[in-house]
A and B are shown apart, each in its own frame.
Chain A
Amino acid sequence: MKITFLAFDGTPYTVDADEGMSAMEAAINEGIDGIEGDCGGNCNCATCHVFVDPGWQLQVGEVSPMEAALLADRSDLADNSRLACQIRLVPELDGLVLQMPESQFI
């Protein structure tokens, strides 16, 4: 399946991902800059913050309390904010588009 990550300047990076992995893992495996994942995808650090493309917001599922708590700490929080480590890639998410915030680019 394919996932597209948009850099904050709009540059698209489309990667191949396997069903069952997280969107964070898909980005890390392809070395996408803008997804840090300092805690290794444990929903602990909020360095894999993404904005879900509005067309995909329903399909990516619900935010857990742990994730919501970490997102609440982000200064760039938006209605479509998610942590990429908490988006599990199911077949329906083939083609998913995620935008990465500027703050995750050094």
Chain B
Amino acid sequence: MCDAGVVIVGAGQAGATLATGLAQAGYDGPITLIGEEPYAPYQRPPLSKGFVNGDVGVDELLIKPEAYYAQKHIQLIKGRRVHAIQAHARSVQLDEGEQLNYRSLVLCTGSRPRVLPIKSAELNRVFSLRNIDDARAIAGALPEQGRLVIIGAGYVGLELAASCVTQGRHVTVLERAGRVMERSASPQVSEHYRAMHEAAGVNIVCDVNLVELQGGQQVTAVCAGDGRCWPADVVVIGVGAVANMELAQAAGLQCDDGILVDAQCRSSDPHIYAAGDCARQTHALLQTSLRLESVQNATAQARMIVAHIMNKAPLRSEVPWFWSDQFDTRLQIAGIVQPNHTSILRGDPASGSFTMLHVQGDRLQALEAINRPADFTLGRKLISEQLEVNIQWLKDEDIPLYLRD
């Protein structure tokens, strides 16, 4: 049997950060990175923005140039899947039966779009948006002045709506909840984004109960239970994602809406780690169990695993953060907005630049900064250090959120 090193299943942001991090840190064994897509590891955030518009090509999406992996002695296996883990034997089985042994196994299997239970979802020109091929298919199917109906007003849906309406497409966004970005944003931020999209010509419809897609071979309309229908040339469904944890479950690892991992990203098997969208971890700072789908979470968890494998000091948990670019507006979120927080407005939403601060007791827990980068970075520091805050001062735009000594 050949030398067993680190085997990484999944070649997205977490897998790539882990492989390159181990190589840079001088890991002494083979590093194998296995991805099911035919591409070298690439960034997903631009898919709903510049890539779908054709402003950005595949080479610009790559996290590292493809040649980098060979230079660093990382074996990059593209277009292949791992079918099973034999945890007792410390090996994985690839399609076509090949076995790979490991000293450490890292599952970076990501997430996949949630399937919407709706009649006729199998019609042509109905897509989800997760990878390069999805983005290409959407761009290819959408005529220049075509009608795009997006189901789900989350980040993917709204970013895609902004990109496509800017390109002159007719865009409708249908949302089951009462407001856009309901799962992750405060009502004030939702309202700001609804108004921004409507001003740009996006038709936003909330509180809609969709029951079926209509069409012959190709989709022609999306219909609600109350009889309303929206004509469509292309439909994109963006109603969240589910963790790819079947491989872990079949291997007997503890899972609960994600592969359960400890503060160093170790699963219930001492030789198996998990990172990124597929992992659920109790956040050391926020003291809550989280499964996050973000670039920051993927890279932070990958770096925790590098530190653990290389016997370095454990990395401290960062405040989770996210960003979304829609039109010329940048939303930056730090922490997790919860309904039991007290919300404080800083700045004037009508100016297009304001921050929502979310406090529990006298501590800042989360913030949403809209075109306010200084509030984002300074507020994130305040959350991270859990310093006592004064509500009146938080409201005062003339006082920075954090003062250096």
Contacts and interface: CB of A to CB of B under 8 A. Distances in A.
Interface residues of B, number: 32
Given A29-B65, A38-B295, A106-B303, A73 B380 contact: yes
B378 interface: yes
B24 A105 contact: yes
A39 B72 CA distance: 22
Given A38-B299, A40-B43, A42-B325, A31 B67 contact: yes
A28 B64 contact: yes
Contact of B323 (A28, A29, A44, A68): A44
Contacts of A68: 373-374
Q: Is the interface of B mostly helix, strand, loop or mixed?
A: helix
A94 to B, nearest CB: 22
A69 B374 contact: yes
Interface string A81-106: 00000000000000000000000011
A20 B71 CA distance: 27
- Size category of the A interface is 20 to 34
Interface string A36-58: 10111010110000000000000
Contacts, number: 58
B377 A70 contact: yes
Interface string B17-34: 100110011000000000
Nearest to B381: A73
A72 interface: yes
A42 B46 CA distance: 10
B374 A65 contact: yes
Given A44-B323, A69-B373, A106-B306, A39 B381 contact: no
A106 B295 CA distance: 17
B65 A31 contact: yes
Interface of A: 28-31, 33, 36, 38-40, 42, 44-45, 65-66, 68-70, 72-73, 105-106
10 contacts: A38-B13, A38-B295, A40-B45, A65-B374, A68-B374, A69-B378, A70-B377, A72-B378, A106-B24, A106-B25
Given A66-B373, A69-B373, 8 more contacts: A30-B65, A31-B71, A39-B295, A42-B45, A42-B325, A45-B296, A72-B378, A105-B24
